[in-house]
Amino acid sequence: ALDGKTPCELWVGRPPVVAHLRAFGSKVCILDKSVKGKLEPRSKEGIFVGYSQTSKAYRVWVPSDKKIHTTRDVKFMDEQIDTVAKEDVEKFNETLLDPNEQEELELLVRNEPKVLYPESSGTTHGEVIEGDS
């Protein structure tokens, strides 16, 4: 029915533009707009964590500041995607969840009900099955 095309492509008649989409966790540099001396660095290294919902900007976590910055002045280091330091990831995870919340999240994921879709039935609604199948 879709012939290998996205619903957006079928609706509009051309493929969607995805050049602006970036991989979550990519290493980036953001422009530091504070006043600097002649030989001081003009950028900070960070990790791309998403897109701003309020403006046309990127959200970048900067480990040295321990903050998420929203900025349009970003340079993606596409060749260095997998070079994020392990300690930076651990610091980021510590800011998101404490150990108790992490355990609760893992329990929720393990106990999530599975949804089965009948193949030959005329209904399009899934049947929720509790527990493992």
* 37-62 tens-digit pLDDT: 899 989 999 999 999 999 999 999 99
DSSP-assigned letters across all residues of 59-111: EEEETTTTEEEEES-EEE-GGGTT---HHHHHHHHHHH--HHHHHHHHHHHHT
| pTM greater than 0.75 | no
pLDDT on residue 63: 92
| pLDDT class of 15 with cuts at 50, 70, 90 | confident
Domains in the chain, please, with CATH? Answer: 7-97 (2.30.30)
pLDDT on residue 98: 61
Q: Does 69 score more than 50 pLDDT?
A: yes
